[in-house]
Amino acid sequence: MKRVLFLLTFLVTGCASNNLPIHQYDKSDAPVYPQISVIVNDGYVRSNTSCYQYGCYDYVDHITAFTMEELRDSKLFQNVVMNNALERYKVYVKVQRQTRGSKAAELAKIMFSSASLLTIPITYKYTYNAEFVVYDNSEVRETFIYSLDSDETVTLIKDPEDEKRKAVKSIVSHFLMDLQKTNTFDVESYSQL
């Protein structure tokens, strides 16, 4: 009984996520900023298909979708569209996730995780580097650079994309807060339209 209790405690504590800083930006009922076009990672979405004995498995990186979702959910923009080169305001976003620490240790974690069939939580350490470049037609208005450390726990009962979503939400919240501090978009002329 003590072993089962210990194992259950170990699994539950391994599922605890790190609390990434989410900055609160002022939300309003009406859009504050004009329509923007967002291009994430130059329009490239990393994907991979692996086929094994019992079928094929697809992996699609959701950073682009998470970024677009967070910008749209903020309701600060009149509209958020993707990859529209004719839009007056464009935001080019580059987000990279890099492993912190030794690659040998990460390989050992992957091997241990697969040997335990993901029943034992394993924590991976990543650094997210993001750059937001705001254009007014072809002129650069502002550049914002962010770096965020994230500890992501992988286990069988947890969606691995949840931690990535939290990291992207934190980065986008920093960007939106910085937009409110600066006059990156010409808000006065937009409000007169």
pLDDT tens profile 48-57: 888 877 788 7
Residue-wise pLDDT for 72-128, tens only, equals 999 999 999 999 989 999 999 999 999 998 888 888 888 888 888 888 888 989 999
SS (H, E, C) 128-159: EEEEEEEEECCEEEEEEEEEEEEEEEECCCCC
DSSP letter, residue 126: E
> What distance in Å separates the CA atoms of residue 39 and residue 44, rounded to the nearest whole number?
9
The answer to whether residue 190 is domain-embedded is no
Residue-wise pLDDT for 136-158, tens only, equals 999 999 999 999 999 988 888 88
CB atoms within 10 A of CB 171: 28
The answer to whether residue 74 is domain-embedded is yes
The answer to whether residue 141 is domain-embedded is yes
Residues 6 or more apart from 55 whose CB is under 8 A from it? none
CATH code of 47's domain: 3.30.160
Amino acid occupying residue 146: Y
Report pLDDT for 46.
Answer: 80
> What distance in Å separates the CA atoms of residue 169 and residue 68, rounded to the nearest whole number?
10
For residue 113, the enclosing domain spans: 32-181
The answer to whether residue 77 is domain-embedded is yes
Give the predicted TM-score (pTM) of the model. 0.80
The answer to whether residue 169 is domain-embedded is yes
The answer to whether residue 6 is domain-embedded is no
Domain count, the chain: 1
The answer to whether residue 119 is domain-embedded is yes
Residues pairing with 144 in the sheet: 132
Amino acid occupying residue 149: D
> What distance in Å separates the CA atoms of residue 45 and residue 30, rounded to the nearest whole number?
31
The answer to whether residue 20 is domain-embedded is no
